[in-house]
Structure 1
Amino acid sequence: MNFHQLYIFKIVADKKSFSKAAQVLFISQPAISMQIKSLEDHFGTRLFERNTHQVNLTEAGRVLYNYVEKILSLVDEAEKDISALTGCMRGTLSIGASFTLGEYVIPQVIGRFKNQYPQVKVFLQVTNTEQIAKRVSKNILDLGLVESHVDDQELVASPFLQDELMVVLPAGHPLAGKKSISLDEFVALPLVLREQGSGTRKVTEERLREAGVELSALNVVMELGSTEAVKKAVEAGFGASIISMWAVQKELKLCTLVPVRIKGFSLLRNFYLIYKKNRSHTSVVKEFGSFIEEGAFLY
């Protein structure tokens, strides 16, 4: 029996699933099963009742779980106290980031955090806002960094960075010479948009509804699963789009995309740090959360 096996045991118990524990720990399901069998061999009894839908703790498993919680809490306190003395924080951190953040902002954030805490291992998953919120809610991820506010009472959403969405046109478009266009001109454009579930798509639709625009009136010619694909489609002349300013810096410098604003129409938004309410986080997770909320990555 070792500390690693106890940690795996707790994750399986929390998730009630070997496969979900494997997702959290970034190891294979057979490896999870092998470690749990080793623990059960050590104690000479089954720790989980297995069925087709989920796994549940046996009576012996519940006894062990109570002790494991105390052990892991003491280990976290020890790491925190030693880190304070040595300035050397250790541990793991699993983060989810929506596409715009994951591709254009978070790599820089993680790099700066790792400069301060080189012994911390960071695992990053990049997918859309909807999926990140689900994985944080299910404790698959420690924290999420997303592009729109999430409607989940189990999650806390804290704004940490402002963004501006902008309409982008291909170079040479008839409207590209204008600094701003009317809302009617925008609605008439063929549009290349991100897929449903994307934070950028959600904010765009919310603002249009607020302005009285029926979404059915939009001329959506393509829905694509990544910001890079959207940019390429716009550059190729398939339509206009609404994209984060963080995502188009290179294209604006190269003049392959041209930004325009919509008169009287605000596309400012916040990026959010999300985490689960009432979840006990490690000192590493708490430190990264503070790093984000205090904007330390900007300096």
Structure 2
Amino acid sequence: MDLHQLFVFTKVVEHKSFSKAAEDIFLSQSTVSSHIQSLERTLNVNLFDRVGREIILTPSGERLYQWALKLLLLKDQAMLDLKEGVTELRGMIRIGASSVPGQFMIPKMVKSFRVQYPKATFHINQSSSKNVADRVLNGSVDFGILGEKYENEKLCYIPLLKENLVLITSKESGLVGPVSIQQLLSYPFIMRNSDSGTNSLIEKFLKKNQISKDQMNIVAYTENGQSLIQFVLQNIGIAIISEMAAREYYDRNLLTIHEINEFNEERYFYLVYNLNKTQSMLSKLFIENAHQLLN
């Protein structure tokens, strides 16, 4: 058993597929299969059950996966401690991101990180804040960056950035100045889906003002923040979004930003990771330096 075999094994586990693991680490599928078979012969255990087209970890495979992550992390730590080839640390960092972080925060963070670790590559999975938290919990991403906290004893949240939500309208909307919550009820409204952090904050504000969604004139729900902005630009409706996302369009004089009276809700964007997941050295370095990467 060697470290390379363990590395290949972890990739098969993470992708739940020999072919996808082979593609990820630039090996042939037959080579990946050969490494797994060699591991199984060495340890005299079956690591996977083959059920039709699916592969499922055996109990022995699950135990080996946890040891493999620790051993591979120890190897990376040894390299770092010896200060030999630090910039040669390489590997994939898998990040789950909600809409705004995926568009406006992570590109900047990746650019800064790759200055020191140019061999790092990234896989960004963008979805709603709730889906990001779920992916962190099930281990399909190394960590997430999102705009809402979903409490779970396995999740650790690091506040990264504070911002406000704002109302946006098209240049043709006719809406002027700060608006009240009652004024919003008479305008067609574009909403994000229920799993987004923005939507969660809006619902809290409505509840605080004893207003139900049924009282609003909602004309469309959308999964995507960019799609929501396009609805507003076409004067189909108004929307409440991240000020960070709105600022680019406002600066180009494409839409108008309004304050909402008594809407003083601020929100944080968080980095969230699973306390039970052993991080690679690259992921650990990214997490530890997340604040600096934004500055």
Fold equivalence (TM over 0.5):
yes
**Equivalent runs, 1:230-249 vs 2, <5 Å:** 230-249=228-247
Aligned partners of 1:194 and 1:223 also within 8 Å: yes
1:257-295: per-residue Cα shift (whole Å, max 9, x none)? 111111112132110110002322222222111221xx2
Q: Does 1:51 align with 2:47?
A: no
SS of the aligned residue for 2:148 comes to coil
SS of the aligned residue for 1:96 comes to strand
Match of 2:138 in 1: 138
Q: Does 1:27 align with 2:28?
A: no
Q: 1:90 to 1:41 in 2, by over 3 A?
A: closer
Aligned partners of 1:18 and 1:33 also within 8 Å: no
Which moved further from structure 2: 113-122 or 64-73?
64-73
Give the paired residue count.
Answer: 289
Aligned partners of 2:22 and 2:28 also within 8 Å: no
**Equivalent runs, 1:180-191 vs 2, <5 Å:** 180-191=178-189
Which moved further from structure 2: 48-57 or 106-115?
48-57
Match of 2:293 in 1: 297
How far apart, in 1, do the equivalents of 2:237 and 2:63 lie? 61
Match of 1:102 in 2: 102
Match of 1:117 in 2: 117
| Deviation, structure 1 residue 34 | 5.8
**Equivalent runs, 1:46-195 vs 2, <5 Å:** 46-51=46-51, 55-57=56-58, 61=61, 68=68, 71-82=71-82, 84=83, 87-88=86-87, 90-92=89-91, 93-175=93-175, 177-178=176-177, 180-195=178-193
1:130-183: per-residue Cα shift (whole Å, max 9, x none)? 2211111111111100011123332112211011110011113221x31x1111
Aligned partners of 1:89 and 1:284 also within 8 Å: no
| Deviation, structure 1 residue 224 | 1.4
How far apart, in 2, do the equivalents of 1:196 and 1:257 lie? 24
Q: 1:67 to 1:243 in 2, by over 3 A?
A: closer
Report the residue type matching 2:134 in the other structure. Answer: K
Aligned partners of 1:148 and 1:199 also within 8 Å: yes
How far apart, in 2, do the equivalents of 1:25 and 1:208 lie? 49
How far apart, in 2, do the equivalents of 1:42 and 1:285 lie? 26
Structure 2: which 5+ residue stretches go unaligned? none
Report the residue type matching 1:260 in the other structure. Answer: H
Q: 1:114 to 1:42 in 2, by over 3 A?
A: closer
1:93-115: per-residue Cα shift (whole Å, max 9, x none)? 11111111111221111111112
How far apart, in 1, do the equivalents of 2:48 and 2:252 lie? 58
Which moved further from structure 2: 164-173 or 3-12?
3-12
TM-score normalized by the length of structure 2: 0.85
Structure 1: which 5+ residue stretches go unaligned? none
Q: 1:41 to 1:230 in 2, by over 3 A?
A: same
| Deviation, structure 1 residue 79 | 2.6
Q: Structure 2 residue aligned with 1:205, among 191, 203, 208?
A: 203
Match of 1:283 in 2: 281
Report the residue type matching 1:81 in the other structure. Answer: D
TM-score normalized by the length of structure 1: 0.84
Q: 1:22 to 1:212 in 2, by over 3 A?
A: farther
How far apart, in 2, do the equivalents of 1:145 and 1:167 lie? 23
How far apart, in 1, do the equivalents of 2:244 and 2:107 lie? 13
Which moved further from structure 2: 94-103 or 62-71?
62-71
Q: CA RMSD in A?
A: 3.0
Q: 1:25 to 1:171 in 2, by over 3 A?
A: farther
Aligned partners of 2:246 and 2:257 also within 8 Å: no
SS of the aligned residue for 1:152 comes to coil
How far apart, in 2, do the equivalents of 1:26 and 1:81 lie? 31
How far apart, in 2, do the equivalents of 1:235 and 1:75 lie? 52
How far apart, in 1, do the equivalents of 2:257 and 2:22 lie? 42
How far apart, in 2, do the equivalents of 1:296 and 1:171 lie? 37
Aligned partners of 2:172 and 2:235 also within 8 Å: no
Aligned partners of 1:80 and 1:89 also within 8 Å: no
Counting aligned pairs with the same residue, the percent is 24
